[in-house]
Amino acid sequence: MSSPSSPTRSASLPATPVVLITRTRCHLCEVVRPVLADEVAAAGLTWAEITLDERPDLEADYGEMVPVTIIDGAVHDYWRLDRDRLRIALANRT
């Protein structure tokens, strides 16, 4: 679901393999979070969550896309998260 204009890892994002960008009171974030946590744990990886409420500097890049799933610095999915697609992406990391 990555678009050509999708931002790439900023120096201000955590160095974990997977990052979830969310915001407070985001119902889609509540749906995505447990799926991401399960699949990342099953892959033996770590992840970090950033809320735009705490990081307004990221609003311009990601604000219209939350929740945003980033894998190895590239936007993997936004708005929704497909479990099977995530599992494949995590297994195929280079």
Alpha helices (H) along 8-64 = 27-42, 59-62
Residue 13 counted as domain residue = no
In-domain check, residue 17: no
Q: Please report, for the domain that includes residue 61, its CATH number.
A: 3.40.30.10
How many domains does the chain fold into?
1
- Nearest one of 75, 37, 71, 72 to 58, comparing CA atoms: 75
Specify if 65 maps to a domain. Answer: yes
Task: Tell me if 4 is assigned to some domain.
Answer: no
The residue among 68, 90, 81 whose CA lies nearest residue 19 is 68
Enclosing domain of residue 81: 23-91
Question: What pTM, to 2 d.p., does this model score?
Answer: 0.85
The pLDDT profile of the chain, 94 residues, written as one tens digit per residue, is 444 344 444 558 888 899 999 999 999 999 999 999 999 999 999 999 999 999 999 999 999 999 999 999 999 999 999 999 999 999 998 6
Within a domain: 79: yes
Q: Is residue 29 part of a domain?
A: yes
Can you give the pLDDT at residue 10?
A: 53
Q: Alpha helix locations (H) across 1-94? A: 27-42, 59-62, 83-91
pLDDT of residue 14: 85
